[in-house]
Chains A and B, each alone.
Chain A
Amino acid sequence: MSAILSVDDLNDFISPGVACIKPIETLPTAPPPSQDPSSLDYEVILDGQPSSSSGSDPPAQISLTDCLACSGCVTSAEAVLVSLQSHNEVLNVLDSAPALQLSGPDASGLYTISGLENSQSKLFVASVSPQTRASLAAACDHGITSEQAGRMIERLLMSKEGLAGGGKYQNPFTWMVDTNTARTACLVLGSDEVLGQGANKPTTPVLTSSCPGWVCYAEKTHPYVLPHLSKVKSPQALTGTLLKTTLSRLLGISPDRIWHLAIMPCFDKKLEASREELTDAIWAGDGKPGRGVRDVDCVITSKEILMLAASRGIDFFSLSNSAPPQKQPPFPDPTLHRFLFPSSQTHKQLRPAGTSGGNLHYILHDVQARHPGSQIQTVRGRNADVVDYAVVAPSGETIFKAARYYGFRNIQNLVRKLKPAKASRMPGGKPFGSAKRPAGKAATLDYAYVEVMACPGGCTNGGGQIKADDQVIIDRKSLPAKPGPPEQKAWLAEVDEAYFSADDPDTGVDLGADSGGNPDSVDGIYPSRIRDTLVHWASMVGIPLDRLVYTSYREVISDVGKSQVTDTERVVQLAGKIGGGW
């Protein structure tokens, strides 16, 4: 699983005899052998190569979408393909043509776009995750909050002292949004999905699907888990759909004219951005996944922000962290503007919610809000990344059970419990293993919801975050040359601290359990307002809300390792017959 993939981990280990699933699909059927008697009787065909009689095929093309989580040669493919979404790509795109210019708004709030005659020109928008801001804030001098780090990123992307001061065309980004805003919608949608009675509800227990490392792993290795995955899009995906649908509609431009950059804490988000389920084929086309304009065009990681700045000779840490003098233009729709750019930070990051979006935490509080007087109980599991939660009524009755499972080894245990009974391999078909378990034991997995994340410790510990052993941190924090586990833990604690910090360092007010206060709000979010905003969005762009906010998953089926009797297999069988150890 590529959950903790970082640039340093990539190597070219490709198992011998492994076939790539894609070229097999694109090879035409071999023509019948030639009747020419002078042709060779025998022809040596090497594994995976077409025979010489099949003529010249165009080279098989593999895109990142195809390679998604195929276990064939994913190590080197990821290396190549993930690098296509890099800070260099950002600079190349910025340098490809002058950006579209926005003028207005006029009296009725409409903008006009100029520069469309150049087919390469695009409108640049960006979205930033809170974990990225926390990572950069911790890397700055002590005391910088993630809000301030966010302003530094804004300056980098939009102001003259940043990227817009250089490059071929001095192209700035026009809008930069916080994925936290889309996240509030994801939380409400996620809770409605679990607690509601919708026909399309995933199978219990519902599992969080915002972590692409987990989703790719499930699609590839444990497809029986897919019916359990929440259908709600991740905040990155939802932000992408929101920006592309609304801006294209409101500005009258096609979605491929909008270039959306997302800055995320992990590399797997690059894979998520390439999913065919997250393109305009879903919302503008026939609703089925396909090649189309991506909702998110490029994802770079927190580390790559520093590389992006350095490539243009900018020292990120010297950027001012006060609000840039030039405010972002108002979003073309006032309701969405209020949604994307809230005037005050209405939803503070709460520690118990963790650093991965807080889906579980929100649902627990939503349940609690619906059952006044109930309590949330927490039981830690066998390690820090496994926690059981229960919402218990005053009478002592358990209303709702949920859990958090972070990290690969814990996901193993979760997935094992979800596995359906398998037909026995023994002669006679006697069931064994999980099938043999008496029905009562399956009750141990009676959660209604499980928050699953690939990275232990949550997204602040993502693969793309700045780490304690990065030279920039060793230099800035005067760490020993090879930071060991204690330094890494201390660093992660600093990043978490920045993540949970408020804008104003003085107000260390802990919101705590405020569900007893305003009955309309859960954790500072007003679900009814969110739902209204979503309905407004759907009607404004004329697309059913389902197509905008929900996504789907599909099993990745690869030829690799399957028992088809290929030539290799036959050799293996023969070797086995003469006593070879295969």
Chain B
Amino acid sequence: MPPIITPIPPFQPDLYQRAWASIPHPSLPLIATPHATSVTIFSLATLSKHSVLTGGHARSVRTAAWQPGMSAGRLRLVTGSFDATAGLWSYNSDKDKKGLEKEVKFGEGEGDEEEEEEDWEFNLVLEGHENEVKSIAFSPTGQYLATSSRDKSVWIWEDVGDGAGPGEEDDGGEWETVAVLNEHEGDVKAVAWCPDVEGRVGMSGRYSSDVLASASYDNTVRIWREDSDGEWVCVAVLEGHEATVWGLQWEPRPREGRFPRLLTFSADKTVRIWTLKVEEAEEEEGMTNNPWGGIPNTMRTELKEEWECTDVFPRVHSRDVYSATWSKDTGMVASAGSDGIIALYAEDATPKEDVDMESATNAAAPATSRWKVLAAVEDGHGPYEINHITWCKRFDPGTERKGEEEMLVTTGDDGVVRPWQVRIP
């Protein structure tokens, strides 16, 4: 049987510094990898370096996010650093640089790389956190930016500037703090916004449609929403993990009309899935106009949600799971971590209505888990820890379906960013 996961030659060049993550651009064939105090952008078409962002941070850059919804030819990247700041960088490929007409053709990347220091401009610093910024994420439309830090808080920022018009230089925008959320009891390791999918709207009328989730050293995940007064409140606390929750991802393509599930992975070596419990009354009436779902107001004293852990993946990892990724196209999940193992999981197609809900929350009963392990690769980066794994569209010559076929990209302490071909026989 041909192997499912096979290595593709790694991105060039080696970074020779610990690399922390690789973030694909939402649409263009680019991927951003923070390492030490810089970020290297690789081209997915050539699997080689496109540009570099340097000099803006004094300490390790651990996280990066592409701003969605930018106009053509403009790129904006936000970096989060251990120096307690987030940096905003912009790249304008239309810009005439000092008379030197530099053509950067996306998809070919054959441009001369010597002047990459000038490609990216460091526009703005977002200060406020007391110490290391651990994670940043943009809401689906790009309206909000969430940052989280070891100071146990999550901040939500909004760009209230006018934005750069066509032909104008991108100055980074004008950012304001919208909310400072202080309810975690430890370092907040990751934040993620629910993607704009059909089931997201959920309990409309009570809250706006943006939902933020955060994962923390305090072993919990918290869900945050904006209420009618414009206040961001914590509407749920997901307890169950037995150690630091390293990160989380929302279900990129939920089942018909259902609220997106949440994938979490932890230092307790497990990967879990959580589902929002929907009140039966709401389920029956579907999307009613009555925001209270038919239950009298006096009985709804708390604006809280209930989530439960509905799946615990079969145990593969022997150490912390640092990263996991959920594919929008195939629904497969891949995980990686400290033990260097890359694991691939798929879900059984049959929905779980009939299964007893109580046994589903029992973590020690994997027999009812609907997820199975398809493949596992050991020592993905040799003896080095794997810090990040992500699904990524292929644009390299090795694929016949450019922009459609998905591969995995892992990032490790060896400073190498490795793509992996995934083909299910």
Contact = CB atoms under 8 A, between A and B. Distances in A.
Interface in B43-75: 55-56, 58-60, 62
Given A484-B301, A582-B60, A436 B123 contact: yes
B329 interface: no
Interface in A84-118: none
A484 B303 contact: yes
B18 A382 contact: no
A383 interface: yes
Nearest to B82: A582
Given A482-B302, A486-B301, A579 B415 contact: yes
A482 B172 CA distance: 43
Contacts of A441: 174
B171 interface: yes
Contacts of B60: 581-582
20 contacts: A15-B131, A382-B230, A384-B229, A409-B155, A409-B180, A410-B177, A412-B177, A416-B176, A416-B177, A425-B55, A425-B56, A426-B55, A432-B124, A436-B123, A436-B171, A480-B301, A484-B301, A486-B303, A579-B16, A581-B18
B36 interface: yes
A426 B176 contact: no
A512 interface: no
Contact of A581 (B20, B125, B227): B20
A582 to B, nearest CB: 6
A352 to B, nearest CB: 19
Contacts of B180: 408-409, 412
Interface in B402-419: 415
Secondary structure call for the B interface: loop
A576 B18 CA distance: 10
B117 to A, nearest CB: 9
A487 B301 CA distance: 8
Contact of B58 (A425, A480, A482): A425
A425 B85 CA distance: 13
A576 B301 CA distance: 52
Q: How large is the interface on A (under 10, 10 to 19, 20 to 34, 35 or more residues)?
A: 20 to 34
Q: How large is the interface on B (under 10, 10 to 19, 20 to 34, 35 or more residues)?
A: 35 or more
Contacts of B17: 579
B302 A484 contact: yes
Nearest to B125: A433
Interface of A: 11, 15, 71, 382-384, 408-410, 412-413, 416, 425-427, 432-433, 436-437, 441, 480, 482, 484-487, 561, 576, 579-582
Given A426-B56, A480-B301, A484-B304, A413 B229 contact: no
A164 B128 CA distance: 49
Interface string B110-133: 000000000000111101101100
A485 B235 CA distance: 11
Interface string B73-106: 0000000001000000000000000000000000
B222 to A, nearest CB: 15
B82 A485 contact: no
A486 B59 CA distance: 43
Nearest to A572: B59
B179 interface: yes
A482 B415 CA distance: 49
B178 interface: yes
B422 interface: no
A454 to B, nearest CB: 12
Please give me the 3 A-B residue pairs with the lowest Cβ-Cβ distance, nearest first. Answer: A484-B302, A412-B177, A409-B177
B276 to A, nearest CB: 18
Given A382-B230, A426-B56, A484-B302, A432 B122 contact: yes
